[in-house]
A and B are shown apart, each in its own frame.
Chain A
Amino acid sequence: MLKIKFLAAVFFVFLIITVASIYLYSMNKQPDTQLVEFTAPFVFGRFQIPENNPLTVESVKLGRHLFYDPILSKNNKVSCASCHKQSLAFTDGLALSVGVSGKALSFNSMSLVNLMWGPRHFFWDGRASSLENQALQPIEHIDEMGSNLANLIVELSEIKIYQTLFSQAYGELSAAGIAKALASFQRTLISSNSRYDKFLRGEVSLSEDEEFGRKLFMAHPDTKVSLRGGNCIDCHSQFLTSGFASVFDGFSNNGLDEDINLAEGLYGLTKLEAHRGLFKAPTLRNIAVTSPYMHDGRFETLEEVLAHYNGGIKRSKTLSPLIIEADNLSDTKAEHISLNLEPHEVAAIISFLHTLTDESFLTNEAFSDPFKKGELND
């Protein structure tokens, strides 16, 4: 009898240990995920994906759904895609974006492209230090999407597709998962098939005008050696055409306003006076379809942008010395700031900028609205 009791006790303890082990194992179990395979041109250089957010097929799929789902907003009417439309290279065509409050926001919607390269600080004023950190800010911003994250998580957890997608991507539904998934989807938005890319790969030649524009784009003018230039390269890197990645090298004061009207810009993040009025130099990929231009969308056309650099520069304390100094005439220095480009040179630079449009990126189905494709039941 005693022996049976003893055996029963042993069995009972064994059972508890087994159940507890299975429970603990299932709690800590990472979902089986598959890394995304992608290609990018060698000339883009090193890319960065955070170690704690590997780029998986599952996280990208979840991110794509979240990106296009207005459930992320307080009134269920605004999604990320409301201000980042694929056909406009993920911009919205407005000078200043409008969210749930109906008020114009402070900034022009930024194009989302090649985000694994270029500046490591996001938003026009660099206030987010990672894509993950960036992703939740519009969701919670009172004028953008106006959501409460705790409420959003409850809402999402009641929807079957999100139960599945979160479980597959991260094993659980959390705010961190929302941020990671949105960041992952955005990392896949790679544009590398424009005419400029094809030219770099040796597949096409540029027209005479485009090639003339490319040379001007890539040159800082130097009248001492008769080199004419558009000086674009001083802020927009040669292959990515974005701002530079290192530290805050990708931010510049490009002479939009005098001191009295100078917006904070990067100063808001660093609190350094030298950074007042500095904004992120955006990528110029697909620039022909991302009008209007500048952080506040003040210029409607590329002609207006070029006119700004060609005589419209306003002085301020933090204005880039490269902009003041870049002049294609030798005798106008320090008086009136202008590139002093000829009209045909301006036109050539604009022709080159048009070679940065990547139709296959603007129409790539992998980046499109999954809800329109009936992929909900995947």
Chain B
Amino acid sequence: MIKPSKIIGLMSVVLLMSSIIIWHNTLPKQITLRFYPTIGDKPLELNNARYPNPGGEGDFTIRDFQFFISNLELINNRNNYTEHESYHLARFDVGKGYYDVIIPDVSVGKFQQLVFNVGVDRKANGTIVVAGDLDPNSRMAWNWQVGYKFLLLEGSLFTQGKQKPLVYHIGFNESYTRLNFPLNSNTVSNDGTIELKVDILALFNQAELIDMNEIPNVKFDPEDVAKIANGFQNFISIL
């Protein structure tokens, strides 16, 4: 005679295992990183919208905004997922105004942390190998002796009826910045999407505000490059 408690216990185990299997199979099988560009809390509108100069007089517009995300990893305690040829050029002038990185065949529930870098790692930055979105014949390449622009931001500043071009081409190995984000039920939606905010103002709203009038262009001056690239740390956050 089997005790009823044993039957209930066995049934509970079966039920638990079935639930785990069903739950596991319904977990999304890919992860989407969706980047939304903003100017502070406002969505970025290219070309037309004017935004106040964060550090001084006048308003600015953005004509082009692109940047590299590279060497993406998903981390858990035992094994990590590392993306191969992981170079993504985020741009927002096509489609719906956001940029997606899709990681196929990966279940989000397994990982506790998302890691990627703003920019291009030293090794890839010093070669002309075509990998991921890296292309030495692209707009993001300076030339093979200098490497890649990690971030390209171009537009205009309007002050007292005058228009000044804004050109921020931020590169150099020193600017390569690692970012990491926790993954949990608050940061990942049910369909496996992680929504991230890319705030252009973070590049200028630093301990010392950057006045676009004072620094309207940054290309090769190491001090200016470091000033803007310092903002990469707070540039991207989970929505």
Where the two chains meet, the residues of A that have a C-beta atom closer than 8 Å to any C-beta of B are: 43-46, 117-118, 218-220, 222, 224-225, 227, 233, 237-240, 242, 244-249, 272-274, 321-322, 324-325, 333-334
Contact = CB atoms under 8 A, between A and B. Distances in A.
Listed from nearest, the 4 A-B pairs whose CB atoms lie closest are: A321-B165, A237-B137, A218-B143, A325-B165
A245 B140 CA distance: 11
9 contacts: A44-B137, A225-B221, A239-B136, A239-B137, A245-B138, A273-B47, A322-B165, A334-B162, A334-B165
Interface centre among A247, A322, A333, A334 (most CB of B within 10 A): A322
A360 to B, nearest CB: 22
Interface string B159-185: 000111111010000000000000000
Given A117-B137, A225-B222, 13 more contacts: A46-B135, A220-B169, A239-B137, A242-B137, A247-B93, A248-B93, A249-B139, A272-B47, A274-B63, A321-B63, A321-B154, A325-B217, A334-B162
Contacts, number: 87
Contacts of A227: 220
B33 interface: no
A322 B166 CA distance: 8
B219 interface: yes
Contact residues of A: prevailing secondary structure: loop
Interface of B: 46-47, 63, 89, 91, 93-94, 128, 130, 135-139, 141-145, 154-156, 162-167, 169, 216-217, 219-222, 224
A246 B138 contact: yes
A334 B165 CA distance: 8
Nearest to B215: A224
A108 to B, nearest CB: 23
Contact of A224 (B137, B165, B220): B220
B141 A237 contact: yes
A233 B148 CA distance: 13
Contact of B167 (A233, A273, A321): A321
A247 B46 CA distance: 15
Nearest to B141: A238
Contacts of B162: 334
Contacts of B47: 272-274
Contact of B137 (A118, A272, A322, A324): A118
Query: For A44, A239, A321, which residue has the most chain B Cβ atoms within 10 angstroms?
Result: A321
**B46, B47, B137, B163 — most chain A CB neighbours (10 Å):** B137
B138 A322 contact: no
Contact of A45 (B137, B164, B222): B137
Contacts of B219: 220, 222, 224
A280 B90 CA distance: 23
A219 B219 CA distance: 11
A218 B220 CA distance: 14
Given A46-B130, A233-B142, A321 B137 contact: no
Given A322-B154, A333-B164, A225 B89 contact: no
Nearest to B129: A42
A217 to B, nearest CB: 9
A273 B164 CA distance: 20
A244 B139 contact: yes
Contacts of B165: 321-322, 324-325, 334
Nearest to B163: A334
Nearest to A333: B164
B74 to A, nearest CB: 27
A334 B164 contact: yes
Nearest to A246: B138
Contact of A322 (B94, B167, B224): B167
A364 to B, nearest CB: 23
B52 to A, nearest CB: 19
Contacts of A45: 130, 135-137
